[in-house]
């Protein structure tokens, strides 16, 4: 390349802002509605299992459902999660029991640590709807 062509190009780039960011030394702000990491708000969960059923990566596991003790355990296997947010879409509660936060730096050299971090054991099973009360039989008219 001739110097006459190269120099203006060089000078132009010397005073331009870099096109890349200095990650991980500078943190990036994630966009609104960014699909980061799924998390549960146990107080809202009705343990319907829709998130577990619809997760394409089989990353959600609900176990130890105990209605008598009103207890359940949910594991979100973040080592399998593909961050698609299907679990949030499938969650029927309003507001949603399953949500996505903005975290994306989950890498670890031990995948089991990711799983362990997302265990929930809470006493929040909603009581089943009570059967409608049967009205008392009408009193027999006295003779
Ligand atoms: S974000 Fe997608 S892959 Fe991850 S737990 Fe939810 S449904 Fe499964
Ligand atoms: S998080 Fe939502 S979809 Fe999953 S079990 Fe709870 S209520 Fe159902």
pLDDT digits (tens, 9 = 90+) for 33-53: 899 999 998 888 888 999 999
Segment among 7-16, 42-51, 96-105, 132-141 with least mean pLDDT:
132-141
Q: What pLDDT band is residue 20 in, cutting at 50, 70 and 90?
A: confident
Under CATH, what is the fold of the domain 32-122?
Answer: Alpha-Beta Plaits (3.30.70)
Domain boundaries, the chain: 32-122
pTM for the model stands at 0.72
The atom of ligand 1 lying closest to the CA of 82 is 3
Residue 34: predicted pLDDT: 92
First to last CA, the chain: 119
- Give Cβ neighbours of residue 21 (< 8 Å, ≥ 6 apart): 28
User: What residue has token string 């080592």?
Assistant: 79
Question: How many angstroms is it from 24 CA to the middle of ligand 1?
Answer: 25
Q: Is 49 left (phi over 0), alpha (psi -120 to 50) or beta?
A: left
Q: Using CA atoms, how far apart are residues 108 and 117, in angstroms rounded to an integer?
A: 12
The atom of ligand 2 lying closest to the CA of 50 is 3
Residue 58: predicted pLDDT: 96
Question: How many angstroms is it from 38 CA to the middle of ligand 1?
Answer: 7
Contact 83 CB / ligand 1 (< 6 Å): yes
Residue 119: predicted pLDDT: 60
The atom of ligand 1 lying closest to the CA of 77 is 5
pLDDT per residue as tens digits for the range 73-119: 889 999 999 999 999 999 999 999 999 999 888 888 988 888 755 56
Q: Using CA atoms, how far apart are residues 11 and 8, in angstroms rounded to an integer?
A: 5
């Amino acid at each position: 390349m001739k110097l006459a062509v190269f120099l203006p190009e060089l000078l132009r780039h010397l005073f331009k802002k870099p096109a890349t960011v200095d990650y991980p030394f500078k943190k990036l702000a994630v966009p609104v509605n960014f699909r980061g990491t799924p998390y549960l708000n146990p107080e809202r969960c009705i343990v319907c299992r829709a998130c577990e059923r619809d997760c394409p990566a089989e990353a959600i596991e609900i176990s130890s459902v105990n209605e008598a003790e009103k207890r359940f355990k949910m594991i979100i296997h973040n080592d399998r999660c593909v961050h698609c947010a299907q679990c949030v879409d499938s969650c029927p509660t309003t507001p949603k029991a399953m949500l996505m936060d903005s975290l994306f730096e989950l890498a670890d050299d031990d995948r089991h640590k990711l799983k362990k971090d997302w265990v929930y054991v809470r006493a929040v099973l909603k009581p089943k709807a009570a059967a409608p009360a049967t009205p008392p039989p009408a009193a027999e008219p006295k003779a």
